Chains A and B, each alone.
Chain A
Amino acid sequence: MSVEQTATMAPRVYGVAAEFQSPAELLEAVRKLRQRGYQRLDALTPFPVHGLDEALGLRRSPLGWAALAAGLTGASGALLLQWWTGAVAYPLVVGGKPYFAWQPSVPVTFELAVLLASFAAVLGMLALNGLPRFYHPASNHKRYPRVSDDGFLLIVENDGPAFDAARAAEALRAVGGQHVEVLED
C-alpha cells in the first residue's frame, strides 16, 4: 500500500473536543486557547452563552439584511399584486371607489412584508447554519448528549495540515477541559 492510499483511508480528524462544567469555565478556556493561537474554535452549549460570540471572535449575524430584503420584496410584491389585479387585470367598480389607492392597500402590503421577512429569518437561519444536517462529527463525543442538557463542549477544529491533534488535546487539558476526545469525520 502506498503512502497516499493510507492517508486517504485514515479517517479525517475533524477536531478535538473537551467538556467544561460551566459557562464561565468555557469562556475562560476559549480566551486562553485563542491567546495560544487556536483560532478555529467552536463551542456546543445548551443555551446561548452571553459573551461567547465575542470570545470566539464571531461577527454579528447578517440575518437582518436577509429579512429586510425579503420584507421589501413582500411589500412591493403585494402593492404590485393589488394594483395589477384591481386596476389592470380586473377593474371593477365597488362603491365608487378608485381601482387602486394606497390607503386600502396598506394591510395586505404589511402582512405580506411580515410573512416574507419571517420566512427569510427562519429559513435564512437554517441555511447559514447548514441545517438540517443529521450527522456531525461532534456527535461522536461520548459526552455529546449532555450538550443539550447541562454540558459545555469546546472543540478545537482541524484548521489545516499544520493541525496537531495531540497538541490540541494537551492544550484543552491545560485549560481545564475534561473528557478530551479526538473527533473523526
Chain B
Amino acid sequence: MAEEITVRATTAELASARALAEGRRMHAISSAVRYALLAGVGFLMLYPLIWLIGASFKTNSEIFANPGFIPSEPTLTGYIEGWRTSTPYTFATFFWNTFLIILPKTIGTAISCAAVAYGFARFEFPGKRILFATLIATLLLPNVVTRIPQYLLFRDLGWLDSFLPLWVPSAFAGDAFFVFMLIQFLRAIPRDMEEAARVDGANTLQTLIYIVVPMLAPALISVCLFQFMWTMNDFLGPLIYLSSVDKYPISLALKLSIDTTEAFQWNRILAMSVLALVPALTVFFLAQKYFIEGISTGGVKG
C-alpha cells in the first residue's frame, strides 16, 4: 500500500519535472519576446522626451534637421534667450507664480482632506450617507458644468486676475478624489491606537493630529504629490482666471511664448518646455513609490 503510494508519487514527480523543464524552455523564449516588446514600446514612449532634452541644446537650424538627440554643436542660447522671454518678465516670475499657486493649494488640500476623511471614516452623524453619496457624485461630475457659474461667483467676489480662484476651492476639500483616497486608506487602519488615545483623555482633534495624521502620512504625501503635479499641469484654470502676464504660471507662459515668439526661435520654446517639466520629473523620481501606491489604492479599492 505504502509502496504503491510512493511509486505513484514518483511518477507524478517525474511528469511534473518534465513539464517544468518544458515550461522553462517556453518561458525563456516567451520572456525574451516580452522584454523585446517592453523595451521597444518603452523606447518609443520615452524617445520624444529624450529628443526634447537634446533638441533644447541644439541650434534652431539643427532642430528640424537632426532626428538624433545629441546636438552637433551644443548651445545654451535656447535657455538664455527663452528665459528672458519677449515680455518684460523672465521665467523666474512664472516659476515663482506657479509656486505661489501650488503652495497654498497643496497645504489647503492636505489639511481639509485629512479632516474631512477623518470625519467620514471615524464618525456617525446625521446625513452621512447622503454626504458620502455626494462625494462619489462629485468624483464623476465633469468640471465643465460648474465652470461658468464658478467664474461668475469669483467675478462677483472680485477674485478675477488673482490666484484665489485657483486654490480656494481645493482648501474646502474640493477634490473629491483625494478625500475618497484618504477615506479608503483610513478604513484599512485599525482604530486601536485612536481608542487608546481617547481612553487616555485626548479629544478627537488631538487624536486626529497626533495619532491619525502620522498614520495617514504616506497617503497624505501621495495627495500632496498628485496635487503638485496637477497644479503644475493645470492650464485651463489660469487661462480663465488670470489676465495679467505678471501673474502667469509656467503653463500659460509657455503658451504665450508659442504665440509671441517669432516662428524661427524653436529652441527657446523647447528649452523652456524642458524647464517646465523639470520640477514634475524631479518630484516624480524622488517619490515615485507614493505615486504608484496612491494610484493603486485610490483606484483599485474604488
Partners in one complex: no
Please list the residues of chain A having a beta carbon within 8 angstroms of any beta carbon in chain B. Answer: none
